[in-house]
Amino acid sequence: MPKIIVAIDGYSSCGKSTTAKQVAKQLNYAYIDTGAMYRAVTLFFIQNHISVSNPKEIQKVLSDIHITFRRHKVKGTNDTYLNGLNVEDEIRKMYVSEQVSTVSAVAEVRHALVAQQQRMGKTRGIVMDGRDIGTVVFPQAELKIFMTADPMIRAQRRQAELLEKGELIGLQEIAENLKMRDHIDTTRTESPLRQAEDAIYIDNSLMTLDEQVEMVVRLADEQI
């Protein structure tokens, strides 16, 4: 059976990753969370005091950043590794969320990560989620989804996610972080977040996870 590329883009915390993970499982495809890659680079920049306003230094350190994904043997999760260290929990923390969109707007960072993402998709059979997958990384993807949800619902989902990891953050602070990230992501010069012309728009505010997964799997089946 031919394998396709499923590109899922959308605003922060709209449930893309949760849906994409389940869709990949049902299709028996690989799942790549590109947000995790930008978060890992951000963590590296924070830990190594790299300034976003120094492109020369950024270009130099990018070759020192190695991001991989590995399945957690006990939890079964697909964890993010930065230079061999599991950073899955660290990259989801608020201090990384506060910096990630600024780091993601840097052209050198995007060029390096987009190239790696394109290599990952060479064998096809992949579900990739992010902000520029259908527009820049895989403009030829057979199925493109553009996902969104009501901003308050997104903030509540993000709060629950953080709480599950032991971080208690007020709804207002989370809503402001999402708004700030959406603003930077949609207005940056380098591959801003926008809906690809041939993407299918899904507002999942009133949908259950199962309904979203079923819808995307059905749309994928139509392309296979």
Q: Tokens representing 8?
A: 């899922």
Please report the beta strands in 11-160, taking only residues with DSSP state E, as ranges in sequence order: 30-33, 67-71, 78-82, 85-86, 126-130, 143-148
Report whether 93 belongs to an annotated binding site: no
DSSP SS3 for 10? strand
The footprint of ligand C5P on residues 106-135 (CB under 6 A) is 130-132
The number of CA neighbours under 13 Å toward the Cβ of 223 is 18
Q: Kindly determine how many residues on this chain lie close enough to bind ligand C5P according to the rule CB under 6 A.
A: 13
Report whether 16 belongs to an annotated binding site: yes
Give me the least distance between CB of 157 and ligand C5P, in Å please.
12
Report whether 101 belongs to an annotated binding site: no
Asked if residue 15 binds ligand C5P (CB under 6 A), the reply is no
Binding mask 72-111 for ligand C5P (x = CB under 6 A): ----------------------------xx--x-------
Residue 45 backbone phi and psi in degrees, to 5: -60, -40
Q: What CA–CA distance (Å, rounded) separates 184 from 31?
A: 25
Q: What CA–CA distance (Å, rounded) separates 20 from 27?
A: 10
The footprint of ligand C5P on residues 34-73 (CB under 6 A) is 34-35, 38-39
Report whether 35 belongs to an annotated binding site: no
Q: Which residues bind ligand C5P (CB under 6 A)?
A: 12, 34-35, 38-39, 100-101, 104, 130-132, 181, 185
Binding residues: 10-18
- Feature table: binding site for ATP: 10-18
